Amino acid sequence: MRGEVTLHMVAPPERVWGLVSDVTRIGRYSPETYEAKWEHGATGPAVGATFRGHVKRNGWWPLHYWTTCTVSACEPGKTFEFGVGNDPAKPLNVWRYDIVASGDGCDVTESFTLSPTAGLRLYWTLLGWARGKTNHDGMRATLERVRADAESAEATAP
């Protein structure tokens, strides 16, 4: 009940981390989550900060919904992770970006891990083959869009 995609980017880890940890940019990158807003006084990434994401899942029902997310790991230039769900201690899904310096830039891994609840296990057993492919394709698209920004001339400007 997990998946991951890794992509190499010719950009410094700090620049890539700045892009993936700025949730207000998520609509530029994600094929499903088209906007996000920091909540409860949060203005940027920090462990415990919360934000809400506006999702258009699979392009069909439920067409649009808001989901609450809580940052659970945040190390500039290295890691950005958040749990999805109203209870930060028991997220339904955890999304994570791991960034590792490599050669002329960095390797970026986006991953998800579903909570091993009975309902999610049943869902994954019945529909995991389709949802896993959708997530894999979405993570690849997200990382390709992040890479385009990270490697662009605008991203290298001070």
Three-state SS at 135? helix
Average pLDDT across the chain, whole number: 91
**Confidence band of 157 (pLDDT split at 50, 70, 90):** very low
Q: Is the pLDDT of residue 155 over 60?
A: no
* 55-58: Cβ within 8 A, 24+ apart: 56/32, 57/32, 58/32, 58/134
Positive or negative, the CA dihedral 125, 127, 130, 131 is negative
**Confidence band of 138 (pLDDT split at 50, 70, 90):** very high
